[in-house]
Each structure stands twice: as structure tokens, then as C-alpha cells.
Amino acid sequence: ATPMSIMTATGRGAQAGILIKDAEALERFSRVDTLIVDKTGTLTEGKPRLTDVVAIAGGRGGGGEGRGAENDLLALAASLERGSEHPLADAIVDGARARDLQLQAVSEFDAVTGKGVTGVVAGRVAALGNPALMTQLGLSTSSLETVADDLRDVGKTAMFVAADGQLLGLVAVADPIKETTAEAIGKLHALGLFIIMATGDNERTARAVAGRLEINDVRAGILPEGKQALVEELRAAGRSVAMAGDGVNDAPALAGADVGIAMGTGADVAVESAGLTLVKGDLNGIVRARKLARATLRNIR
């Protein structure tokens, strides 16, 4: 690559909202054949909203039936999530505020990466998160799995709520697919990319979302280290891999890929780990970056 053509490309990139770290990143991106995309915040808006609250009948939600039990469950969930920075947490807190629910103080708050949160609320040891978290706490989610599966099949994320060693219910959120995603994926295919969705979310939810898009492969239920392992697995199989993501949990995978693409609206650590940063975090930025990389390298050869 000549320094001149790379400089021109860097300038053009900046105008198109693509920040290029170095010449090698652009050069490597022209050769990438596989693109891994994080679901939350990359394919979807990353702003989930609360859609469902299900309290187990007779569960000790704090008293009352129906709406009362639901509100008690949601208030407990929101109290726990107030200390979390996860997008799912914001959805739950906002949902509780919309219902004018009173939140309680939390002590011993702990965030379990890729699983959920725990803490003590009004003297009760409470937890909120996925089945993996409940299993870790010795609780079975089986009584709610049918309800949860129905929610997952329409692309929602279900999170279980427990307190005092008892499963109390679940809350669910929906995170809409970005308006630009479907068309951009079509263009990325036309530009020769095999597209894999990687997500910490569960298999059913992930497949429901992927089913509305032309995604070639889905890897669900993976922890941050898992995304990095996926990058390594594909590279070991001879693929040239780009990874696009926005979260703190995507940073190791971004750093390990042939090209890391930070979706600009996300965490600083993601930007530091990336070769390309998209100022506007939608997939059309990747389409533009791919075209730019190819045009630049064509001129050089």
C-alpha cells in the first residue's frame, strides 16, 4: 500500500464516518471473508424496552395477586438493576418508573458478567438474570421455561427474578432490529462476506432475530471470552475475520480479530481495541468501509 493512497482513503473514510487506525487495518479489511456481528446494539437498536412481567402465582413477591404481584416483582428487579450499566438494566428501571413504582436501596450489589445481577434488597438476598445465573444459585427455572420460550420465540429476552432462594417470576424486554440492518446485510453479502451473529443472549431469542435477517450462522449464549474464542476458531480454520461490536464485553474479540470494528456509539475500550471505528453505529458504515478498502487496494495493485 502506498502511503499516499492510504492517506487519501483515511481522509475519505473520515468524511464517511469511518475512523481508520492504520494502513494495515484497511488493507486487511479488503481481504476479510467472514464478519462476526454482536446482536445487541449492533444489529438491534441496543435500547431494549420492558414488555412483560410474569409473577409466579403464590410466589412471595411481597404480597397481592395479579397486577400487585407483578408490580412487586418489577420493583424488586428495578431496585437491583439500578446499580447496573447494562442496557437491559435501563429497560427494567425505565419500565418500573413508567409504572410509578417505588424502588428500594440495594446493598452488596454484584454484576455477574454475561449472566445478571445480585444484591440484598430490603433484607432479601435477590438475583436477576439468565438461567445460567439461576443455576449458579442452585435454582431451577423449569416452572417458567414454557412462558420464557414463548417470549424468546418472538425475539424477546427473558430474565428470571429470585429472592430468598425462591424463583419469583420473570421480566422480558424487546430490542427492535435497527431499520437499516436488513438492507445493509444484503449489501454485505454482495460484498462477499459470510455473516455470523454472536451474542450472549440465548439461542431461541438469537434465532428469532436472525430469522428476520439473512444471517449465515448464529452463535448464542456465549460469554465475552467465547466471542474471542470464536474469532480464534475461525482464524485457525483459515478464515480472515472481522468482528463488529460495541460493548466492553466485545473488546477482547475486537482485539483478536484480523480487523476489529467498533460501533462508535459504544464503550471507549471497544474503540481502543478496534482497527476501524464507525462514528454512526449502524451496519451501513461497514458497507462503506468495505467499499473504501476494496477501492483503495485496487488502486494500489
Look up cell 413504582; give the residue.
Answer: 101
Task: Give the end-to-end CA distance of the chain in Å, rounded to a whole number.
Answer: 8
Minimum distance from CB of 293 to ligand ADP (Å)?
26
State the Cα–Cα distance between residues 164 and 60, nearest whole angstrom.
9
Q: For residue 41, what is the DSSP state?
A: I
- E strand or H helix at 258, and its extent? none
Q: Give 196 or 293: the residue with its C-beta nearer to ligand ADP.
A: 196
**How many Cα atoms occupy the beta-carbon half-sphere of 161 within 13 Å?**
32
Q: Closest CB to ligand ADP among 130 and 296? A: 130
Which one of ligand ADP, Mg ion, none is in contact with 45 (Cβ closer than 5 to 8 A by kind)?
none
Residue 255 Cα to chain centre, angstroms: 17
Cα→Cα distances 289→15, 210, 216, Å: 11, 23, 21
Question: Among Mg ion, ligand ADP, none, what does residue 86 contact (CB within 5–8 Å per kind)?
Answer: ligand ADP
Where does residue 169 rank: exposed (0-12), middle (13-18), buried (19+ CB within 10 A)? Answer: buried
Q: Which amino acid is at 135?
A: T
Comparison of 1 and 111: residue with beta carbon closer to ligand ADP = 111
Residue 28 touches which member of Mg ion, ligand ADP, none, C-beta under 5-8 Å by kind: none
Residue carrying the nine cell digits 409473577: 55
The one catalytic residue in 22, 33, 38, 72 is: 38
- Which of ligand ADP, Mg ion, none lies near 35, with the C-beta cut-off 5 to 8 A by kind? none
In this structure, what C-alpha cell is assigned to residue 186?
444484503
Q: For the CB of residue 206, give the shortest distance to ligand ADP in the complex, in Å.
A: 8
Are 213 and 5 in contact by the 8 Å Cβ rule? The answer is no
Nearest alpha carbon to residue 231 among 253, 198, 205: 253
84 binds Mg ion (CB under 5 A): no
249 vs 277, beta carbon nearer ligand ADP? 249
Nearest residue to ligand ADP by CB is 200
What is the contact surface with ligand ADP in residues (CB under 6 A)?
Answer: 38-40, 81, 84, 86, 88-89, 114-117, 128-130, 157, 159, 199-201, 247, 249
What is the Cα Rg of the chain in Å? 21
Let me know if 52 is a catalytic residue.
no
DSSP 42: I
Q: Quick one: 28 or 82, whose CB is closer to ligand ADP?
A: 82
CB of 151 to ligand ADP, least distance (A): 12
Q: How far is CA 172 from CA 147, 166, 222, 250, in A?
A: 10, 19, 19, 23
| String of contacts with Mg ion for each residue 7-46, x by CB under 5 A | -------------------------------x-x------
Judged by beta carbon distances under 5 to 8 A according to partner kind, the member of ligand ADP, Mg ion, none in contact with residue 88 is ligand ADP
Q: Mask of contacts with Mg ion, 220-249, x by CB under 5 A?
A: ---------------------------x--
Q: Which residues are catalytic?
A: 38
Residues that bind Mg ion (CB under 5 A): 38, 40, 247
